[in-house]
Amino acid sequence: MKFLALAGGVGGAKLALGLSRILPQSDLTIVVNTGDDEEFHGLHVSPDVDTVMYTLAGLSNPETGWGITGETFAALERLNAYGADTWFNLGDKDLATHIRRTDLLRQGKTLSEVTDSLRTALGVKHPIVPMSNDPVRTMLTTDLGELPMQTWFVRHRCEPAVSRIRFVGAEVSQPAPKFTRALQDSDVLVFCPSNPFVSVAPILAIPGVRDAIENFGGTRIAVSPIVGGQAIKGPAAKMMDELDIETSCVGVASQYKNLCDIFVLDDVDADRAGDIEALGMRAAVTNTMMFTDDNKVRLAKYICGLAA
Amino acid sequence: MKFLALAGGVGGAKLALGLSRILPQSDLTIVVNTGDDEEFHGLHVSPDVDTVMYTLAGLSNPETGWGITGETFAALERLNAYGADTWFNLGDKDLATHIRRTDLLRQGKTLSEVTDSLRTALGVKHPIVPMSNDPVRTMLTTDLGELPMQTWFVRHRCEPAVSRIRFVGAEVSQPAPKFTRALQDSDVLVFCPSNPFVSVAPILAIPGVRDAIENFGGTRIAVSPIVGGQAIKGPAAKMMDELDIETSCVGVASQYKNLCDIFVLDDVDADRAGDIEALGMRAAVTNTMMFTDDNKVRLAKYICGLAA
């Protein structure tokens, strides 16, 4: 069975790692949100792509949730001394990724080609595909005005209340060719436990993607990033509250109506299974925590079991 | 008295430091060769400008002659893993300079403006002026074909024999405005002990510069980078040999005919003073070695004495 996993940041990367441990590289395509790509110091940074890539390469820093473990920050300190805005943490090793990416993009390669080149060099065997080779930018309308995703997320620590989210450029973007192929060829589509509004929604905003998923030929499985009314990591719960969506796995599931056959919720939310099923999807209850690599593999196996 | 110093790499930087220690910032303009500027990984590197800037900032690595003392190379190692050509050593702190420079250039600032911003941030009070805001590229015809300066110098360790040197773009370049002003306003012009062929010649190749120096109103003083038939640092002697120019202070002086009033040669070359004077310039003999900062200040004071 061929799997297509849609992923955003840390939660998505964790399940992608689990899936990559049990599926051969030919049977798993990981498509990653690029809505929060941003240029820092003239360098193209793809935060979600890098989180997935570093996680699969065994490089990611589990303590911070971003960047590479054992990083140094010599260049950033110096950039700060030069008067550059350095609120976005870029380690020295991480900078090499952005320098190389930017250089290859300027040479005319697509973001997909660049990502292939980078992940291969890091020893990652499974394809990691940016959702689009075209620029799509997630913009949040907040009480501080409209902010790009990373400005809101990192610079303002998710503090400004969010009232609206849009994906600038999405309407004229195309899915990356390998994403289109995976939508056609895959037997199982997995929504990783990523933020539905800023990790998954940008992917769905690419013309044709929502339709393709609504008409997907195989099994569509979503995993809730909200457990017991809390986001495992990140601002999903706060955002749902501000957007007036129930802060629960049911609120998440409501975002995947018509897009999902099986919705995976955590044991602690077992009592909400009926509400999930009322949305027209099957509820599957399990332990969704992914603290350790074993946890990740266990959840990945559970999902494979559901698909079979 | 106002001084204009023309400098290239390490030797130029040493004398520039000496001059900066005894002259107020209003009385010294240091104009630096940019003929060996190069793009690495999509970043604009200005090796000579940075050598002068780091030297005046007290950051330069005296052991290597390039880069910043106490550097780390985390990003470069990673760039190498990504398959980039990493024969040009770029430390993490140094990379910040090139990232910031490239970013500011892409924002539309001139190389002069960028250099001002960088050196000010590093606490360097004396103006460091790139010879031109326009691209000029020093190209060496060698037995391996035509090579850009840094490719020949670093990648091929100066090994290929040089038969010809040209400065691509020089014919349509203009001197940086502050260089033009210094040529008009200065009382003393100093050719620092830099390579005449690849550090000083690119500066002279900018239209109008040679004329302005030939007609300079004040005193023009050159310091020989060749002592006892050897280059203090770098490939000047080897290059002179290959270009069929006498490998001596006299060979250097011959390059400054009509451009120089006083030629400073080292004590060990005292017996060549007559040959220098035969070229139509006064010979001044002193200890030109600049191992320590005291040495640099002593030579700078000696030059000021000659000018007075």
pLDDT of residue A22: 98
pLDDT given at position A231:
85
Percent of chain A with pLDDT over 90: 95
Residues of A in contact with B88 (CB under 8 A): none
A108 in contact with chain B, both atoms CB, cutoff 8 A:
no
The answer to whether the CB atoms of A93 and B99 lie below 8 A apart is no
pLDDT attached to residue A111: 98
Contact: B78, A84; criterion CB under 8 Å = no
pLDDT of residue B66: 82
pLDDT of residue A66: 82
Cα of B175 to nearest chain A Cα, Å: 26
Q: Which of residues 25-84 of A touch B (CB under 8 A)?
A: 41-43, 71-72, 74-79, 81-84
Residue A9 pLDDT: 86
> Å from A14 to nearest chain B CA?
23
Q: Among all chains, which residue has been given the structure tokens 């100093």?
A: B190
Tokens read off for B63:
């052991």
pTM above 0.80, yes or no: yes
Contact B294, B274 (CB under 8 A): no
Q: Distance, in angstroms, between B43 CA and closest chain A CA?
A: 8
- Reported as a single tens digit per residue, the pLDDT across A235-289 is 999 999 999 999 999 999 999 999 999 999 999 999 999 999 999 999 999 999 9
Instruction: Establish whether this prediction's ipTM goes over 0.90.
Output: yes
| Res B118: pLDDT | 98
Q: Name the phi and psi angles at B148, rounded to 5.
A: -65, 155
Query: What residues of chain B score a pLDDT lower than 70?
Result: none
Q: Which of B53, B99, B101, B116 to mutate to test the interface with A (most CBs of A within 10 A)?
A: B99
Could you tell me which residues come within 8 angstroms of residue B122 by beta carbon, excluding any fewer than 6 positions away? Answer: A81, B53, B54, B57, B59
Minimum CA–CA partner of B95 in chain A: A75
Q: What is the pLDDT of residue A234?
A: 86
